[in-house]
A and B are shown apart, each in its own frame.
Chain A
């Protein structure tokens, strides 16, 4: 598997979180398949000149979320039956929501006005724009 992380050290999002989110998004979008191997901790640390402990932390978190498993001789691989739990999907949505909330506040919108805007946007967005793999349960 060719997962290419985009690491932004200066971002307000911690590096371990960037790695976790990117793997989780790749899984949710179907860009990686069960059995695909994550690059080794050493390889990721070396490539981006980051602390190996940060990569380990990210991989352990992914393991505890059930997205990857440690296989002897192979390292970390994407789990066969990846349960993209609702909790995980909501966690992935959270940063975008927080940003929208911040902008809503700056614009002086009320809670209800912002919610209405969200509902409208959700309804306006055509089905084609939404990644199909994340919405298998919808017609």
Chain B
């Protein structure tokens, strides 16, 4: 097995005009992980994915995919990559079946059988002109293509908004129906607002806010160590206090990392409550 991370990002910073899209973001995604990227609109999710893929050149920092610099991807690495953007680029003048066959011919690991099965599952008719598809159908077609060439690394930017609940479950199942070339599980990086979907499959979660990493860790560990504490007085900003907010005249809510917070940071007998991903998201972003 290869120990090179599937994705490695170091000190990425990106600005558009006066707006900071990414601010010194570093992370690495181990092979076989499913990284959920969450944050409010404008938090930097798409910018991060696009920098990872080499589609945007950052002002500083660098990133690597499958051990290859993102800004200089080899054909081999491109063939091992599946990406679905928010507005997929397809060949508008072709029919669905033609588009699938054409793209399929470009990938060494293409499975025509899988492409047809996925089309049926996501209700995309073969003989439709791509131009005539709705945005949702185009997104589904892009998902089919990304999955049918059985890549080692899948990157999805808000892919599931167009799928109904049944389609979304099928989409999540589809991640685990093929293996990477070295026999390991496929690596997935996915941004979405549908936290309940991400909670089913994510091994790791990245919370972004204003282009910075708010919280990053293994999903199970986050559930087991991040807690909500409500106190009568605010607790000073320090290591382990991830967010603080006044919720009533004499009530302050804190998101606490119980593994890193100092023993004496919280008043004795402070009740700590566990949080699902949705509640944690809200607590971190309000």
Contact = CB atoms under 8 A, between A and B. Distances in A.
Given A51-B176, A52-B176, A12 B223 contact: yes
A9 B199 contact: yes
B195 A49 contact: no
B68 interface: no
A46 B173 contact: yes
A10 B173 contact: no
Contacts, number: 58
A10 B199 contact: yes
Contact of B278 (A10, A16, A46, A105): A10
A84 interface: no
B278 A51 contact: no
A9 B200 contact: yes
A30 to B, nearest CB: 29
A10 to B, nearest CB: 4
A106 B271 CA distance: 8
B122 to A, nearest CB: 15
Interface residues of B, number: 28
Contact of B271 (A15, A16, A105): A105
A32 interface: no
B20 interface: no
Interface in A15-59: 15-17, 45-46, 48-54, 57
A132 interface: no
B220 interface: yes
Contact of B185 (A46, A48, A52, A57): A52
B198 to A, nearest CB: 9
B274 interface: yes
Interface residues of A, number: 23
A11 B279 CA distance: 10
A102 B227 CA distance: 12
A14 B200 contact: no
A13 interface: yes
Contacts of A9: 196, 199-200
Contact of B32 (A14, A17, A53): A53
Contact of B276 (A10, A50, A52, A54): A10
Interface string A43-77: 00110111111100100000000000000000000
A90 to B, nearest CB: 18
Interface in B197-212: 199-203
B220 A50 contact: no
26 contacts: A9-B196, A10-B199, A10-B277, A10-B278, A11-B276, A12-B273, A12-B274, A12-B279, A13-B274, A14-B224, A15-B200, A17-B220, A45-B173, A45-B176, A49-B169, A49-B172, A49-B173, A50-B172, A50-B201, A51-B34, A51-B176, A51-B201, A52-B176, A53-B32, A102-B273, A106-B271
Q: Which 4 A-B pairs have the closest CB atoms?
A: A12-B274, A9-B199, A49-B169, A14-B220
Interface of A: 9-17, 45-46, 48-54, 57, 101-102, 105-106
